[in-house]
Structure 1
Protein backbone atom coordinates (compact mmCIF):
# COMPACT_ATOMS: atom_id res chain seq x y z
CA UNK A 1 0.00 0.00 0.00
CA UNK A 2 1.31 3.46 -0.85
CA UNK A 3 2.02 5.97 1.88
CA UNK A 4 0.47 8.94 0.07
CA UNK A 5 -3.12 9.23 -0.97
CA UNK A 6 -4.34 11.00 -4.11
CA UNK A 7 -5.77 14.49 -3.74
CA UNK A 8 -9.07 13.41 -5.32
CA UNK A 9 -11.27 10.34 -5.18
CA UNK A 10 -13.83 9.57 -7.90
CA UNK A 11 -16.75 7.38 -6.83
CA UNK A 12 -17.90 5.88 -10.09
CA UNK A 13 -21.57 6.17 -10.99
CA UNK A 14 -23.42 4.79 -13.97
CA UNK A 15 -22.76 7.86 -16.10
CA UNK A 16 -19.91 9.63 -14.34
CA UNK A 17 -18.75 10.08 -10.77
CA UNK A 18 -19.03 11.92 -7.52
CA UNK A 19 -15.79 13.77 -6.87
CA UNK A 20 -14.28 14.02 -3.40
CA UNK A 21 -11.26 15.96 -2.18
CA UNK A 22 -9.19 13.69 0.06
CA UNK A 23 -7.74 15.07 3.29
CA UNK A 24 -5.39 12.69 5.09
CA UNK A 25 -3.94 15.41 7.31
CA UNK A 26 -6.94 15.82 9.59
CA UNK A 27 -6.62 15.55 13.32
CA UNK A 28 -7.00 12.06 14.74
CA UNK A 29 -5.15 10.82 11.63
CA UNK A 30 -8.42 10.02 9.87
CA UNK A 31 -8.97 10.20 6.17
CA UNK A 32 -11.70 12.67 5.33
CA UNK A 33 -13.38 12.94 1.96
CA UNK A 34 -15.28 16.09 1.14
CA UNK A 35 -17.58 15.92 -1.89
CA UNK A 36 -16.81 18.77 -4.25
CA UNK A 37 -18.60 17.91 -7.50
CA UNK A 38 -20.68 15.55 -9.60
CA UNK A 39 -19.50 14.62 -13.09
CA UNK A 40 -21.69 13.51 -16.01
CA UNK A 41 -19.50 11.93 -18.68
CA UNK A 42 -22.19 11.69 -21.34
CA UNK A 43 -22.97 15.42 -21.15
CA UNK A 44 -19.34 16.32 -20.33
CA UNK A 45 -20.76 18.28 -17.39
CA UNK A 46 -19.14 19.19 -14.06
CA UNK A 47 -21.49 20.45 -11.33
CA UNK A 48 -20.01 21.78 -8.11
CA UNK A 49 -21.53 20.20 -5.01
CA UNK A 50 -23.71 22.56 -2.99
CA UNK A 51 -22.38 26.12 -2.82
CA UNK A 52 -18.83 25.04 -3.56
CA UNK A 53 -16.69 26.91 -6.07
CA UNK A 54 -14.19 24.69 -7.86
CA UNK A 55 -10.60 25.88 -8.14
CA UNK A 56 -8.63 25.70 -11.38
CA UNK A 57 -6.75 22.76 -9.86
CA UNK A 58 -10.05 20.99 -9.08
CA UNK A 59 -11.34 21.51 -12.61
CA UNK A 60 -8.05 20.39 -14.14
CA UNK A 61 -8.00 17.17 -12.09
CA UNK A 62 -11.65 16.45 -12.92
CA UNK A 63 -11.16 17.10 -16.64
CA UNK A 64 -8.09 14.84 -16.70
CA UNK A 65 -10.10 12.10 -14.96
CA UNK A 66 -12.96 12.56 -17.46
CA UNK A 67 -10.56 12.17 -20.38
CA UNK A 68 -8.90 9.09 -18.88
CA UNK A 69 -12.24 7.52 -17.91
CA UNK A 70 -13.73 8.09 -21.37
CA UNK A 71 -10.72 6.45 -23.00
CA UNK A 72 -10.93 3.49 -20.60
CA UNK A 73 -14.65 3.02 -21.26
CA UNK A 74 -14.10 3.15 -25.03
CA UNK A 75 -11.40 0.48 -24.75
CA UNK A 76 -13.65 -1.69 -22.60
CA UNK A 77 -16.53 -1.29 -25.03
CA UNK A 78 -14.48 -2.63 -27.95
CA UNK A 79 -13.10 -5.41 -25.77
CA UNK A 80 -16.66 -6.40 -24.78
CA UNK A 81 -17.65 -6.61 -28.46
CA UNK A 82 -14.62 -8.76 -29.29
CA UNK A 83 -15.58 -11.05 -26.40
CA UNK A 84 -19.06 -11.25 -27.91
CA UNK A 85 -17.52 -12.49 -31.17
CA UNK A 86 -15.69 -15.17 -29.19
CA UNK A 87 -18.90 -16.04 -27.38
CA UNK A 88 -20.81 -16.37 -30.66
CA UNK A 89 -18.15 -18.77 -31.91
CA UNK A 90 -18.40 -20.81 -28.70
CA UNK A 91 -22.20 -20.78 -29.02
CA UNK A 92 -21.99 -22.11 -32.57
CA UNK A 93 -19.71 -24.91 -31.40
CA UNK A 94 -22.06 -25.68 -28.48
CA UNK A 95 -25.12 -25.74 -30.77
CA UNK A 96 -23.38 -28.04 -33.21
CA UNK A 97 -21.79 -30.46 -30.78
CA UNK A 98 -23.48 -30.51 -27.37
CA UNK A 99 -26.87 -28.78 -27.30
CA UNK A 100 -29.95 -30.90 -26.78
CA UNK A 101 -33.10 -30.37 -28.81
CA UNK A 102 -34.79 -28.85 -25.75
CA UNK A 103 -31.91 -26.39 -25.27
CA UNK A 104 -31.96 -25.43 -28.95
CA UNK A 105 -35.74 -24.91 -28.78
CA UNK A 106 -35.20 -22.65 -25.78
CA UNK A 107 -32.63 -20.31 -27.38
CA UNK A 108 -33.04 -20.50 -31.17
CA UNK A 109 -35.70 -17.84 -31.79
CA UNK A 110 -34.20 -15.27 -29.44
CA UNK A 111 -30.70 -15.82 -30.81
CA UNK A 112 -31.80 -15.75 -34.45
CA UNK A 113 -33.71 -12.48 -33.93
CA UNK A 114 -30.79 -10.85 -32.13
CA UNK A 115 -28.35 -11.98 -34.83
CA UNK A 116 -30.72 -10.81 -37.59
CA UNK A 117 -31.04 -7.39 -35.94
CA UNK A 118 -27.27 -7.13 -35.49
CA UNK A 119 -26.65 -8.17 -39.10
CA UNK A 120 -29.08 -5.52 -40.39
CA UNK A 121 -27.35 -2.80 -38.36
CA UNK A 122 -23.86 -3.89 -39.41
CA UNK A 123 -24.76 -4.15 -43.11
CA UNK A 124 -26.46 -0.73 -43.07
CA UNK A 125 -23.49 0.89 -41.27
CA UNK A 126 -20.99 -0.72 -43.65
CA UNK A 127 -23.00 0.46 -46.67
CA UNK A 128 -23.05 3.98 -45.21
CA UNK A 129 -19.28 3.92 -44.70
CA UNK A 130 -18.65 2.59 -48.21
CA UNK A 131 -20.97 5.25 -49.65
CA UNK A 132 -19.03 7.98 -47.85
CA UNK A 133 -15.68 6.69 -49.05
CA UNK A 134 -16.57 6.19 -52.72
CA UNK A 135 -16.01 8.96 -55.26
CA UNK A 136 -19.12 10.71 -56.54
CA UNK A 137 -20.03 9.05 -59.86
CA UNK A 138 -23.29 10.95 -60.42
CA UNK A 139 -21.59 13.93 -62.03
Structure 2
Protein backbone atom coordinates (compact mmCIF):
# COMPACT_ATOMS: atom_id res chain seq x y z
CA UNK A 1 0.00 0.00 0.00
CA UNK A 2 1.46 3.34 -1.09
CA UNK A 3 0.73 6.28 1.17
CA UNK A 4 1.25 9.84 0.02
CA UNK A 5 3.26 11.76 2.58
CA UNK A 6 2.82 15.53 2.46
CA UNK A 7 5.87 17.75 2.25
CA UNK A 8 4.72 19.84 5.22
CA UNK A 9 2.78 19.26 8.42
CA UNK A 10 1.13 22.08 10.38
CA UNK A 11 0.58 21.40 14.08
CA UNK A 12 -2.18 23.81 14.97
CA UNK A 13 -2.23 25.54 18.31
CA UNK A 14 -4.18 28.40 19.77
CA UNK A 15 -3.53 31.38 17.51
CA UNK A 16 -1.15 29.72 15.09
CA UNK A 17 0.84 26.64 14.20
CA UNK A 18 4.21 24.98 14.20
CA UNK A 19 5.44 24.11 10.70
CA UNK A 20 7.29 20.89 10.02
CA UNK A 21 9.00 19.69 6.86
CA UNK A 22 8.22 16.00 6.44
CA UNK A 23 10.84 13.57 5.14
CA UNK A 24 9.41 10.16 4.30
CA UNK A 25 12.09 9.21 1.84
CA UNK A 26 15.10 8.42 3.96
CA UNK A 27 17.28 5.35 4.39
CA UNK A 28 15.63 4.39 7.67
CA UNK A 29 12.17 4.13 6.11
CA UNK A 30 10.53 6.26 8.78
CA UNK A 31 8.91 9.66 8.81
CA UNK A 32 11.11 12.46 10.04
CA UNK A 33 9.52 15.78 10.91
CA UNK A 34 11.82 18.76 11.19
CA UNK A 35 10.31 21.91 12.68
CA UNK A 36 11.12 24.78 10.34
CA UNK A 37 8.92 27.66 11.55
CA UNK A 38 6.19 28.99 13.82
CA UNK A 39 3.15 30.92 12.65
CA UNK A 40 1.30 33.56 14.65
CA UNK A 41 -2.11 33.97 13.02
CA UNK A 42 -2.96 37.14 14.99
CA UNK A 43 0.04 39.10 13.76
CA UNK A 44 0.78 37.20 10.57
CA UNK A 45 4.34 36.57 11.74
CA UNK A 46 6.21 33.57 10.39
CA UNK A 47 9.33 32.93 12.43
CA UNK A 48 11.91 30.47 11.15
CA UNK A 49 13.02 27.92 13.72
CA UNK A 50 16.49 28.68 15.03
CA UNK A 51 18.85 30.02 12.37
CA UNK A 52 16.98 28.31 9.55
CA UNK A 53 16.35 30.17 6.29
CA UNK A 54 13.01 29.38 4.69
CA UNK A 55 12.93 28.59 0.98
CA UNK A 56 10.46 30.04 -1.52
CA UNK A 57 8.69 26.66 -1.47
CA UNK A 58 8.44 26.87 2.34
CA UNK A 59 6.94 30.36 2.13
CA UNK A 60 4.47 29.27 -0.55
CA UNK A 61 3.29 26.28 1.51
CA UNK A 62 3.00 28.41 4.65
CA UNK A 63 1.08 31.20 2.88
CA UNK A 64 -1.30 28.65 1.34
CA UNK A 65 -1.88 27.07 4.75
CA UNK A 66 -2.50 30.49 6.36
CA UNK A 67 -5.10 31.38 3.70
CA UNK A 68 -6.82 28.00 4.08
CA UNK A 69 -6.74 28.23 7.87
CA UNK A 70 -8.31 31.71 7.85
CA UNK A 71 -11.10 30.42 5.62
CA UNK A 72 -11.67 27.43 7.91
CA UNK A 73 -11.77 29.60 11.04
CA UNK A 74 -14.21 32.04 9.39
CA UNK A 75 -16.45 29.14 8.36
CA UNK A 76 -16.33 27.71 11.90
CA UNK A 77 -17.25 31.08 13.35
CA UNK A 78 -20.31 31.35 11.11
CA UNK A 79 -21.27 27.78 11.97
CA UNK A 80 -21.02 28.67 15.68
CA UNK A 81 -23.33 31.65 15.15
CA UNK A 82 -25.88 29.55 13.25
CA UNK A 83 -25.74 26.98 16.06
CA UNK A 84 -26.29 29.79 18.59
CA UNK A 85 -29.47 30.76 16.74
CA UNK A 86 -30.66 27.16 16.95
CA UNK A 87 -29.79 27.12 20.65
CA UNK A 88 -31.71 30.35 21.25
CA UNK A 89 -34.76 28.79 19.62
CA UNK A 90 -34.36 25.67 21.76
CA UNK A 91 -34.02 27.87 24.85
CA UNK A 92 -37.25 29.71 24.01
CA UNK A 93 -39.06 26.40 23.61
CA UNK A 94 -37.59 25.14 26.90
CA UNK A 95 -38.59 28.32 28.74
CA UNK A 96 -42.13 28.17 27.37
CA UNK A 97 -42.84 24.48 27.74
CA UNK A 98 -40.46 22.72 30.11
CA UNK A 99 -38.70 25.07 32.52
CA UNK A 100 -39.68 25.17 36.16
CA UNK A 101 -40.03 28.47 38.03
CA UNK A 102 -36.79 27.71 39.88
CA UNK A 103 -34.90 27.04 36.65
CA UNK A 104 -36.20 30.25 35.11
CA UNK A 105 -35.19 32.21 38.23
CA UNK A 106 -31.66 30.84 37.82
CA UNK A 107 -31.18 32.00 34.22
CA UNK A 108 -33.63 34.78 33.39
CA UNK A 109 -31.57 37.81 34.46
CA UNK A 110 -28.41 36.58 32.77
CA UNK A 111 -30.27 35.64 29.59
CA UNK A 112 -32.05 38.99 29.46
CA UNK A 113 -28.76 40.89 29.87
CA UNK A 114 -27.04 38.82 27.18
CA UNK A 115 -29.98 39.26 24.81
CA UNK A 116 -30.11 43.01 25.51
CA UNK A 117 -26.38 43.31 24.82
CA UNK A 118 -26.68 41.32 21.58
CA UNK A 119 -29.72 43.32 20.46
CA UNK A 120 -27.91 46.61 21.14
CA UNK A 121 -24.91 45.55 19.07
CA UNK A 122 -27.06 44.26 16.20
CA UNK A 123 -29.26 47.38 16.10
CA UNK A 124 -26.20 49.67 16.17
CA UNK A 125 -24.49 47.69 13.36
CA UNK A 126 -27.67 47.56 11.26
CA UNK A 127 -28.22 51.32 11.68
CA UNK A 128 -24.64 52.03 10.65
CA UNK A 129 -24.99 49.82 7.57
CA UNK A 130 -28.29 51.49 6.58
CA UNK A 131 -26.77 54.93 7.08
CA UNK A 132 -23.78 53.99 4.93
CA UNK A 133 -26.08 52.64 2.19
CA UNK A 134 -28.17 55.84 2.29
CA UNK A 135 -25.02 57.99 2.04
CA UNK A 136 -23.77 55.98 -0.95
CA UNK A 137 -27.12 56.24 -2.74
CA UNK A 138 -27.23 60.00 -2.13
CA UNK A 139 -23.96 60.50 -3.94
Query: For the superposition of Structure 1 and Structure 2, which TM-score range results when normalised by the shorter chain?
Result: over 0.9
CA distance in 1, matches of 2:59, 2:92: 49
Task: For residues 68-118 of structure 1, give each alpha carbon's deviation from its aligned partner in whole angstroms, at most 9, with x where no partner exists.
Answer: 110111111111101100100000000000011111111111111111111
Task: For residue 135 of structure 1, report the CA deviation from its aligned partner.
Answer: 3.1
Unaligned runs of 5+ in 2: none
Moved over 6 A (4+): none
Task: For residue 29 of structure 1, report the CA deviation from its aligned partner.
Answer: 1.6
Residue number in structure 2 paired with 1:32: 32
Alignment size in residue pairs? 139
CA distance in 2, matches of 1:102, 1:82: 29
Task: For residues 31-58 of structure 1, give each alpha carbon's deviation from its aligned partner in whole angstroms, at most 9, with x where no partner exists.
Answer: 1111000111121221111111000000
CA distance in 2, matches of 1:20, 1:117: 43
Residue number in structure 1 paired with 2:109: 109
CA distance in 1, matches of 2:136, 2:87: 40
Unaligned runs of 5+ in 1: none
Gap change, CA 1:137 and 1:58, over 3 Å in 2:
closer
Task: Please report the RMSD computed on the Cα atoms of aligned residues, expressed in angstroms.
Answer: 1.9
Residue number in structure 2 paired with 1:122: 122
Residue number in structure 1 paired with 2:67: 67
CA distance in 2, matches of 1:89, 1:61: 42
Bigger mean CA deviation after superposition, 25-34 or 65-74: 25-34
Residue number in structure 2 paired with 1:22: 22
TM-score scaled by length of structure 1: 0.93
Gap change, CA 1:132 and 1:57, over 3 Å in 2:
same
TM-score scaled by length of structure 2: 0.93
